[in-house]
Structure 1
Amino acid sequence: MRLKGLIKKSVKSLPSSRRSTAVILIIALISATLLHFPWVLTEAPFKFLLEVHVVREGKHVPALIYVKALYPEGQRFIGFARAVSGVGWIWVDYESWKQAWEKEKALTGFHAKPSFIIVVFTEDGYADIKGFVLEWRELKPYLFGGKKNIIIEPRLRRVRGKPIKVTRSTQASVIPLLDIFLQSSRVLDGEAVLVDYYEAEKRVNLGKIYFDPNIGEGYGSLFIGYYQNFKVGISLAFTLITVDVWSIDFDFVSIGSSSPGSDKAIANASNPSGYISIIVRYRYEWWKYYENGEPIDESFEMWIKNFYPNTIKAERGQDVSIHVWDTKYSGYGKGWSEPTYSEYDFQVDGTRFSADLLWFAGLLDTLGKIPEALKSYAGWLTLFVSLNAYQSGALAFAYDLEYIAPSNVQVKVIKGKHKFDGNPYDLYNALYWKMLKT
């Protein structure tokens, strides 16, 4: 009615002979505006647009897309898209999200980059969960360039559950371009629901050294420190009810603390083992995914939510399992004038290192929060957390390892790796070393 009144008012002053032509021109102008700038009818210009491409074997595939955002307390569901042609659009109202993290930093000193957790289920029977970390400056109104394209290639074959059929919503526009913008105000017909969560704290080892007492004189020393306000990439361990494997998504979050922390451990013949540990807070979440009220799948997720640098101490914590030891040095000691072996600041074996998750998984199992079937999935017995010290062009953690051994004693230095037999199956670095007499 408003549009009709506007047209009548616009042509009222024109001669009757020209009114019909004017009406036609005005209608044409409005139609062109809606076609090329459809967001004028929505609140889309003031939101951030996330465009998700779901691809398998180089081709777009139909998929259901669920998007969660990482808040200080945990994950929140923020959007759903039915990607009929393999592309889905989610409009993000980011202001409250940003404010939540600003408040968290002011209260506790913890701060994080914006992390999207995207869950996809494809029509051809695959699924995955993938985190994407952005910068806060990227989150701005669409009107001013606030858009991000993300590509996901699902890795996990669904071996049970109802097949996914992706069809266009009854609310969808027949004009694809208009449909993108109308999604900003449409009632969602898919949702993710948080069913349960749990948190616990534990002291875990960041690094560990061992000095064989049979060497006699000499020692090993390990320093580890955290640079305040620098961020650490933390992995997500997860599985879905419809698959048969536990998976690791690396660097799904990038989080830092305003507190510094460091300590140094010494190992020698009288005290063979040295440790550098930290208290961390683990979090578990159980989610259910629905389409039109019907259950699609369930996810079980675990990660380190927070770490406390001011708790870094030279005391024993929970070990991550070591399955393989790589030889880093073999030969005679070099005496007291120089280290027999040394490493510092992730110059060897990359910037990722492993920490324990099995303690938390076992606690959840004891509390009855892990379904029995999930414990038979590949990877359950080797779950771990990957910490990435290198984020945004800088190291958040530093370490300095040094071994001293007599020049008349043959020794070898070995470094530990954790083997994860889930997805991706591989060996992962740990800051664990031993010097042994040979």
Structure 2
Amino acid sequence: MQLSENDFRDYLFDNHKDSLSDLIHGRRDPIEWNGEGFPPISILFQQIVERKINEVVDGLESLTLSARELRLEKSGDSTTRIDLFGNSECIGLTIIELKKSKQTERQAYTELLAYANHFCSIYPGLTERAINSILIAPMATRTVRDAFVQEILGNNKSSAALIPSDDNGEIRLTIYYPDESYYQWFENNLLDDRSMYTVAVEFPEIEGWIDTDKNNDQKIPDWSKAALNTISNSISHRLEAEGLHSIVYATQQWGEIGQQFPNPNVIYAVVLNPFASFRSSSLDDEVYGDTKEGRVSEIQAIYDQIDESEREYWLESMESNFHGLAIRIVKEEFDKCFRSTDGLGVRSEISLPDWYGVKTSMINSVFTHNLDIYQTGLLRQVYSRYLDYIFEVKWDEIYCCDDLPRFSYKALRVFLPVWEILRGLGMGEEHA
């Protein structure tokens, strides 16, 4: 392009204040999966990202640019400027940053995220997810492309990238869709049982508050269900806020079986462990794991630069620290649910059972009342997309059609379908 960045910014504001979408080209539908059954995790996440990009881009049709070089001032800090700022009746506040050079586009994306944060600070209650961040840049830098995918998928941000070009004097903004290589790390074994770290909080019956089924015809009382579901929901919200991907649910052991245990109530928080040792471990300074070779090479490159005094246990320490974080979050939120006027709270015990063992144990999963199950982060997105898949096909084509409820809300929190679906999705690639 022949225009300087400032000239380009002014051109967009002066000529396309209400029609920026006229310059946008290259919109396409999300990638399709033509195989049998539910798509692999990598395809699923690519579909999720591309849908989000299209939602933002489509919302630009109603965008009105309100300001250029919008100054953001904070007491004691230097003033920064947003290249273009606008509002859309479809998607709300929109921040646009322009960079022509690949040398400066990394800085631009960082600035975009900082600008969104600034608006959240002056409008309490606003979140970065509610602000649309648009980067107009070559998208030639791998770091920026990686960050773009992570912000949309991992952090659930509303973002789009447009690549500028000048086609014989015609300005074009081409939508950037990350290619499939950016999803290669999302393998089916990401949801493997071995990738799940389980924190179980066990506690006793609390008469009048959380009672067992012993005096209720072997049915857990409604008030007990409500209490246990509320606790599970509270823990899941905290895990979501902390950016962890999890499922959370409560169980209560049946009648006479429950009476044999001092703690018949259990809250299970099953958290996706990004540092699972079966996917990345080291031996004699060589990184290995049940994962793609490219991912191992990336980790090896980092591993080789770790100080020798820390290198031997570096991978193990990251996993251990993650475990400690998960335990602390679950325990803190559980204790908050049992703050009491007498100051005594509720006695509880923490255990760390193997997830496969929990699922296959008759005591833990069969002879129990399994209550509502809550998903957070990527696990919620996976399950939501699966429900879309189920309800988009004809009932007579679904192997489980006899169990399919009329309305999808009936499947959102019910234990068994969530359990079975996530179990199936967690199979390794060779079984997918």
Normalising by structure 1, we get a TM-score of 0.25
Relative to its length, the structure with more helix (as a share) is 2
Q: Larger Cα Rg: Structure 1 or Structure 2?
A: 1
Normalising by structure 2, we get a TM-score of 0.25
